[in-house]
Amino acid sequence: MPSIPLVAELGAKSDEFQDLLNKSKIPATVAKKSRIIMTPEELFSEQDSRIFVRCRPIIPHDNEAMGNKSIVQKVPDHRDLILMCPKVSLSGDCSIEPSVVSLDGTFCGAEDTTERVYFESCSPLVNFSVDGATTCVLCYGQTGSGKTFTTSGIFRFVTEDLAPYFNTHDIFLTVVEIQASKNVDLLTGNEVQVFEDVSGELKLQGSEPFECSSAEFLHAAFEEAASLRTTKATDRNETSSRSHMITRISIVSKESRWAKPGDFFIVDLAGSENTADSATHDKTRQVETKFINTSLMTLKDCIRSRALAGTSSQHLHIPYRRSPLTLLLRDCFEIAVRRPTKTVMIACVSPLLRDSRHTINTLRYASLLAVTPPAKVIAADPDDPNNFSREQALDFLYDISKKMLTDPEAVLPEGDGRTLVHIPEGEFIRRVMDTHGTIGEKKAKMIYTSLWKRVVDARTKGRKVMTNAKKLGKGPRCAK
460 is in an annotated binding site: no
Number of Cα atoms under 13 Å in the Cβ half of residue 126 = 20
Q: Are 346 and 54 in contact (CB under 8 A)?
A: yes
Closest approach of ligand ATP to the CB of residue 346, in Å = 11
- Distance of alpha carbon 336 from alpha carbon 314, whole angstroms: 14
User: Known binder of ligand: residue 289?
Assistant: no
| 146 belongs to an annotated ligand binding site | yes
* Interatomic CA distance for residues 348 and 112, integer angstroms: 13
Please tell me what DSSP assigns to residue 151.
H
Q: Which CB sits closer to ligand ATP, 90 or 110?
A: 110
- Name the region of 132 (left: φ>0; alpha: ψ -120 to 50; beta: rest): left
User: For ligand ATP, which is the closer residue by CB, 144 or 324?
Assistant: 144
Flag whether 74 is marked binding. no
Q: Does the annotation place 143 within a ligand binding site?
A: yes
39 is in an annotated binding site: no
3-class state of residue 211 by DSSP: strand
Q: Which runs of E-coded beta strand occur in 213-352?
A: 231-232, 240-241, 244-253, 262-268, 336-337, 341-349
Give whichever of 203 and 281 is closer to ligand ATP, judged by the CB atom: 281
Answer yes or no: is 141 a known binding residue: yes
In the bound complex, which residue of the shown chain has the CB atom lying closest to ligand ATP? 271
**Residues within the interface to ligand ATP (CB under 6 A):** 56-57, 59, 110, 141, 143-149, 234, 237, 240-241, 270-271, 348
Q: How near is the Cβ of 358 to ligand ATP at its closest, in Å?
A: 11
Closer by beta carbon to ligand ATP, 245 or else 378? 245
Give, in degrees to the nearest 5, the angle at Cα 460 between 456 and 462: 110
Q: How far is the CB of 55 from ligand ATP (least distance, A)?
A: 8
CB of 103 to ligand ATP, least distance (A): 17
Q: Smaller CB distance to ligand ATP: residue 47 or 143? A: 143
Contact 139, 149 (CB under 8 A): no
**Phi and psi based region of residue 422 (left: phi greater than 0; alpha: psi -120 to 50; beta: remaining):** alpha
CA angle in degrees (0–180, nearest 5) for 279-139-220: 110
Residue with Cβ nearer ligand ATP (117 or 451): 117
Measured distance CA(69)–CA(84) in Å, rounded: 10
Q: Considering beta carbons, is residue 8 or 233 the nearer one to ligand ATP?
A: 233
Question: Which is nearer to ligand ATP, 144 or 373 (by Cβ)?
Answer: 144
- For residue 145, give the nearest of 241, 247, 21 by alpha carbon: 241
Per the CB < 8 A criterion, the answer to whether 295 and 178 are in contact is yes
Nearest-approach distance from CB 144 to ligand ATP, in angstroms: 5
Shortest distance, position 114 Cβ to ligand ATP, whole Å? 7
Shortest Å distance, C-beta 433 to ligand ATP: 54
Q: Which is nearer to ligand ATP, 244 or 443 (CB)?
A: 244
In the complex, the smallest distance separating the C-beta of residue 280 from ligand ATP, rounded to whole angstroms, is 15
End-to-end CA distance of the chain: 32
Closest approach of ligand ATP to the CB of residue 28, in Å = 28
User: What is the longest distance spanned by two Cα atoms in the chain?
Assistant: 93
Phi-psi region of 170 (alpha: psi -120 to 50; beta: other; left: phi over 0): beta
CA-only gyration radius of the chain, Å: 25
Spatial contact of 24 and 82, defined as CB atoms under 8 Å apart: no
Q: How many CB atoms lie within 10 A of CB 47?
A: 19
Q: How many helices (H) and strands (E) does the chain have?
A: 18, 18
Q: Which residues are annotated as a binding site for ATP?
A: 141-148
